[in-house]
Amino acid sequence: MRGERVRFRRPLRCHARGKGHRTHQDIHRRPDDRTVRGGSALSDLTYADYLRMETLLSLQEPRAPHTAGRAVVLAEQFFIITHQSCELWLKQLAADLDAAVESLVPPCDPHDLELGLEFLLRAADIVRVLQQQVLVLEKLPLRCFAAFRPHLGTASGAQSTQFRRLTALLGNEHDPGSLYEAFTAAADYHGQTVPDVCRRGVESGVLHRVAEALVDLGNGYWHWKVAHLALVSGMVGEQSGTGGSSGVDFLARRTSRPFPELRRSRGKVRPS
C-alpha cells in the first residue's frame, strides 16, 4: 500500500553442508543412474528413463466405455492430455513466479532484480502457452464431449490447487497478490513508488523493465482466462459445472486482471 513500507522476510536458501550430509539429490537419485569406472562417472541414463516415459504415457485413462466409439475415446484422451499438460505448465509457472518473488524481496540489488525479470519473462511466455492449450481444445468435437462429460463425475478444473496457487501469486482487483507486493517492496527499497517507476519510465532502469514484464504477464493471464471462458461458453452453454458451480457465470465472475494499481499508475502517465 502507498505510504507504508511492506516488510518481507527473504525465504531461506539452502547452503552446502558437511561431507556427511546427504543432499536432496543424493536421496532421490536412482542407484542405477550412474556407474563409476576408472575414476570417471559414466551415465547410462536414456531419454525414456530421464522423462519417465513409460509412467508418463500410462497416465491417460479415458472413462468413457469403448462401446462409445473410437472417436469419443480419443476425444476424451485429447481432453485429458490437454489438461495434464496445463497442470505441468502451471507447476513451472508457479515455480518461476515463486523465484521471481524471492528475487524481488528486499534486500534486492540490481542483479536480484534482473534475475527476477528473467523469471517473469519466462512466466509470461508460459501463460501464452496455456492460452494456446485452450485454443487447441476448440478442436474437441462437441458431440464427443457431450458423450464423455457424464463420466467426469464431480471432477472440475475449478478444483485445481495449482491454479488457486497461481491466483494467490498474481492477485486480482481486490487482492494485490504476493508477486505485486514483492515488486512494491523492491521499488520502496530503491527509494521509489510504483507511480514513480511508471512516470520515470526507462530512467527507473530494471524496475521499469520489471513493471512492464508484470503488465505483459497480467495481460497474458487475462487473455488466457477470456479464451477459457469463451471455450466453456461454447461447449456447455448454460449448464452447471461438473463440480457443482454455476458454470459460465462462475467463470465470468472470476475473470479479472491482476495488478490493478500498476495499470492505473501507467494510465496516469502523461507526456513530459
Q: How far is CA 249 from the centre of its chain?
A: 23
Evaluate the CA torsion angle 71, 76, 80, 85 in order and state its sign.
Answer: positive
pLDDT of residue 229: 86
DSSP 8-state assignment for residue 221: H
pLDDT of residue 9: 47
Rounded Cα gap, residues 113 and 96, in angstroms: 14
pLDDT (tens, 9 = 90+) of the chain, 272 residues, equals: 444 444 554 544 433 434 344 444 444 455 554 544 555 555 789 999 999 999 999 999 999 999 999 999 999 999 999 999 999 999 999 999 999 999 999 999 999 999 999 999 999 999 999 999 999 999 999 999 999 999 998 888 878 899 999 999 999 888 999 999 999 999 999 999 999 999 999 999 999 999 999 999 999 999 999 998 888 888 876 665 555 555 566 666 667 789 999 999 999 998 87
Q: Is 37 helix (H, G, I), strand (E, B) or coil?
A: strand
Q: How far is CA 100 from the centre of its chain?
A: 12
Contact 147, 240 (CB under 8 A): no
Q: Which of 188, 29, 22 is nearest to 108 (CA)?
A: 188
Contact 218, 210 (CB under 8 A): no
pLDDT of residue 17: 38
* Residue with grid cell 485429447, as numbered in its chain: 78
Contact 145, 80 (CB under 8 A): no
Q: Residue 145: left (phi > 0), alpha (psi -120 to 50), or beta? A: alpha
Q: Is the peptide bond before 11 cis (omega within 30 degrees of 0)?
A: no
Cell representation of residue 79: 481432453
Pure H helices in the chain: 24-28, 47-50, 53-56, 70-104, 110-136, 142-148, 161-170, 177-189, 194-200, 206-236, 248-253, 260-267
pTM for this structure? 0.80
Classify burial at 179, counting beta carbons within 10 Å of its beta carbon; exposed 0-12, middle 13-18, buried 19 or more.
Answer: buried
Cell representation of residue 155: 471432477
Classify burial at 101, counting beta carbons within 10 Å of its beta carbon; exposed 0-12, middle 13-18, buried 19 or more.
Answer: buried
pLDDT of residue 158: 78
C-alpha torsion 194→200→205→210, nearest 10: 40
